[in-house]
A and B are shown apart, each in its own frame.
Chain A
Amino acid sequence: MNDGDCVGEHRVDLLWSRLRYFGGTTGHWGGNCAPLDEHDFEERAWVPDSGWPFPKTELDDSYPKAYEYCELPSGNFSADYWAAQSASFRERRIALAGDPIGEKIMLKSPPTRFGEVYRTALARPGNRCDVYLHANVVEIETTEEASRVTALRTRGIDGQTCRFRAGIYILASGIENARLLLLSNRVRPRGLGNDHDLVGRYFMAHTTLRTGRAMLSLPEGTASYYATLGWEQRFLSEINPFIDALQPSRAAQEREGILNSVVFFEESYEGEKTPGFVAMRRIAKQIVHGRMPPNLLRDLGIVVGDLDEVVKALYARSFGDRSYKILQTRFFCEQAPDRDSRVMLGDDLDALGQRKLVLDWRLNDLDKRTIIRTQKLLAEQFGALGVGRLQVEFDSEADPWPKGVDSSAHFMGTTRMSTDPRRGVVDGDCRVHGIDNLYVAGGSVMPTSGATMVTVNIVALAVRLAGHLRSRLS
C-alpha cells in the first residue's frame, strides 16, 4: 500500500522509506535532532515561495516537549555548551569563524521508536485514547458542501470496512495526507482542500549528496564529531551525543543567494565510489531489505568487471587501512519549494483498491547552486583557517546532477501551510482551508524544509497543534 511510482529524473524508494504500522516511520529513524533555524520561517527574497505563517518564536514553546518525547540528552544546541562538556570535542572542534561557515549542533535521540516507547501509556487502563490498528483510512467523508468532515471510512486487508466519527479529525501520515485528500473526491472532484490545485504540490525532501572530499590537518577522531552515524558506529558502546554539522551562515546564504544547508564528513575509503563497489552496495542494500535486487545480473557484471577496485576497497575498510582512508563531504540541503515537484494519483491500484501514489520529485537550479556554492564557501573557509583543502567533483551549474542524489527519505510538503488559501492547503493552525474540523499534522504542512532532521520538528508542530486544539475544545 505504500508503494508507488516515481517519474522524472530523481527517484526515491517509496516502499522502503515508509513504514505503515503503529509508530510509523520512527521505526527506522536515524535519531538526529535539531530545531529549524529562525530564518527557515522567514520569507527570503532569494527563495521563491518561502516563509511560514508564523516566526520560529511561536514554535519555541513546543520544542522542549518535543525534545522530551524524542528522549534527547539535552535541550541545548550550542556548540560552545558541548565544547564545555567534552574535553575531547574541545580538542577536536574546528575553529570556524561563524561567517561564512558556522556550526549546527544536532543531538541524538536513542532513537525513540514511538510505537514501542508510547504503546504502554496508550494501553494503560483508564487512558482516554482508543487505538485501532489495521484500519486503513480510504476516504474522508464530508458534508455536501465539503465544509465539515462527517466520518472517516476505513478498510482492512480482509475487506472489512468501518466508519469512524469524531468532532475533529487530524491527518498525520506524511505524504499519504495528500493522497487521502486527493482520493476523497466524492464531493469535490479534484479532492478535498484542493480548490486551488495545491494538494500534492511542493513536495520536498532534503537534497543529499556525497560529493568531493576533504584533506584536513586535524587530530585523529575529529571526523566522528562531524559525521552522521555510519553503520559500523552502530555497534560501538559509546557514541558522541551530538553531531557538529558545518553550516553556511544566514548572511552567507543571503549573499550567495542559496538555500539553507549543512555539511557532514564521512570517513570512506578509496575505491568505494567506483562503479563496482557502488553496484555491490546496491545489491547488499536490497538483500538487507529482504528484496531480490532488481538488476542483479547487470550489477554482478559491474562488480566482476571492477573486481580489483572492489577487493581493494573491501580490504581497506575491513582492516581500517589509514593510507586508503578519505574524508568524504556529504551535503544535506534544504530543497527549494517548487510547485511542479509533486505527488499525484496514478492509475495502478493498491491492495485496498485505492489509486497508488505517483511522485514527480524535481530539483531546480537553486538546489544545484546551493551545493556548489556551499562547497566553495567551505573550501575557502578551510583554506583561510589553514584547516585543510577540499577537492570538488560537482562544480558547475551547467552540469547535470551527478548520480547518487538522495532524499534522505525526508518527505515534506504536499499540504503546505499558508494563511492564504491560494498559497497553502492548511492555515497557520494546520487546519485545512475551508473545512472546519479537518487538521493536518506532520512534515506535509511544512512550507520550507530547513536544513535539519525532520522528526523533532514534526513532533514540535504536533505539540503546537495539540495546544491549539486544547484551547479550541475548551
Chain B
Amino acid sequence: MNRRELLATATATATAAAVLLCGSPGPARAAALPEARRLLALLRSPAAARRIGRAYLETAADEADPAKLVTLIVGDGADGGTADGDLLRHVAERQRADFAAGRTVKLDGWVLSRTEARLYALAAV
C-alpha cells in the first residue's frame, strides 16, 4: 500500500473523520447487507480500500464475513435508522476511540485503527 492509495482511501479530514462520504458501492457479497451498503458508501475509493482490506484480512482471516465486520465496525452505537451523517460521525468516533485505546493494526507500516481496517475489509469481502 503506498501513500497515494492510503490518501485516496482514508485521508483524515480537518474535522477528524478518516473516511469520506460519497463513492460507489463495494462488491456484491457485502453489498447484499443494507448496513454494509451504507458503510461502503462512506468510502471515497473502494478499489484502494479493497487492497488495504485484503491486507488486513490476511492478518484477521476469521473476520472475513460481511455481517461480522458490520457488527465490529458499528458496534452497539448505531442502528439501521441512523442518518448517513451520524453514521460517518459514529465511525469516525470509533476510530478515534480505537487510537486512544491502542486498538491499532499495522498494514505496510501504516498505523490504522481496527475500525477503519475493518471498513476496508468490508470492501474486500
Given A326-B3, A389-B6, answer yes or no on A380-B111 (Cβ-Cβ < 8 Å): yes
Q: Tell me whether A381 and B109 are in contact (CB under 8 A).
A: no
Q: How far is the CA of A385 from the CA of B92 in the complex (A)?
A: 10
In the bound complex, residues from chain A placing their C-beta under 8 Å from that of B17 are 386
- B113 is an interface residue with CB less than 8 A from chain A: yes
- A64 is an interface residue with CB less than 8 A from chain B: no
Q: Tell me whether A383 and B109 are in contact (CB under 8 A).
A: no
Secondary structure dominating the interface of B = mixed
Q: How far is the CA of A448 from the CA of B109 in the complex (A)?
A: 32
Per-residue CB contact flags for chain B residues 10-31 toward chain A (1 = under 8 Å, else 0) read 1111111110000000000000
Given A380-B99, A381-B99, A389-B6, answer yes or no on A217-B12 (Cβ-Cβ < 8 Å): yes
Q: How far is the CA of A376 from the CA of B111 in the complex (A)?
A: 8
Q: Which of A38-46, A184-192, A391-399 contacts B (4 or more CB under 8 A)?
A: A391-399
- A388 is an interface residue with CB less than 8 A from chain B: yes
Count of chain B residues near A, Cβ 8 A: 28
- A368 is an interface residue with CB less than 8 A from chain B: no
Q: Tell me whether B96 and A392 are in contact (CB under 8 A).
A: no
Given A383-B98, A386-B92, answer yes or no on A392-B111 (Cβ-Cβ < 8 Å): yes
- B61 is an interface residue with CB less than 8 A from chain A: no
- A215 is an interface residue with CB less than 8 A from chain B: yes
Q: How far is the CA of A270 from the CA of B2 in the complex (A)?
A: 11
Q: How far is the CA of A212 from the CA of B95 in the complex (A)?
A: 21
- B85 is an interface residue with CB less than 8 A from chain A: no
Per-residue CB contact flags for chain B residues 85-103 toward chain A (1 = under 8 Å, else 0) read 0000000100111111010
A-B contact count (CB 8 A): 76
Q: How far is the CA of A379 from the CA of B111 in the complex (A)?
A: 6
Q: Tell me whether A215 and B11 are in contact (CB under 8 A).
A: yes
Secondary structure dominating the interface of A = mixed
Count of chain A residues near B, Cβ 8 A: 25
Q: How far is the CA of A217 from the CA of B102 in the complex (A)?
A: 21
**Nearest-Cβ distance from residue A256 to partner chain B, whole angstroms:** 11
Q: Tell me whether B110 and A391 are in contact (CB under 8 A).
A: yes
In the bound complex, residues from chain A placing their C-beta under 8 Å from that of B106 are 392, 395
Within B63-106, the residues touching A (CB, 8 Å) are 92, 95-100, 102, 104, 106
Q: Tell me whether B99 and A388 are in contact (CB under 8 A).
A: no
- B108 is an interface residue with CB less than 8 A from chain A: yes
Q: Tell me whether B6 and A217 are in contact (CB under 8 A).
A: no
Q: Tell me whether A386 and B104 are in contact (CB under 8 A).
A: no
Q: Tell me whether B96 and A388 are in contact (CB under 8 A).
A: no
Give me 4 other A-B pairs in contact (C-beta within 8 A), A215-B3, A389-B12, A391-B110 excluded: A382-B99, A383-B18, A386-B92, A389-B6
* B interface list, Cβ under 8 A from A: 3, 6-7, 10-18, 92, 95-100, 102, 104, 106, 108-113
**Which 9 residue pairs are nearest across A and B when measured between Cβ atoms?**
A386-B16, A383-B99, A379-B111, A384-B99, A384-B100, A391-B109, A217-B12, A380-B99, A391-B110
* A interface list, Cβ under 8 A from B: 212-213, 215-218, 270, 326, 376, 379-393, 395
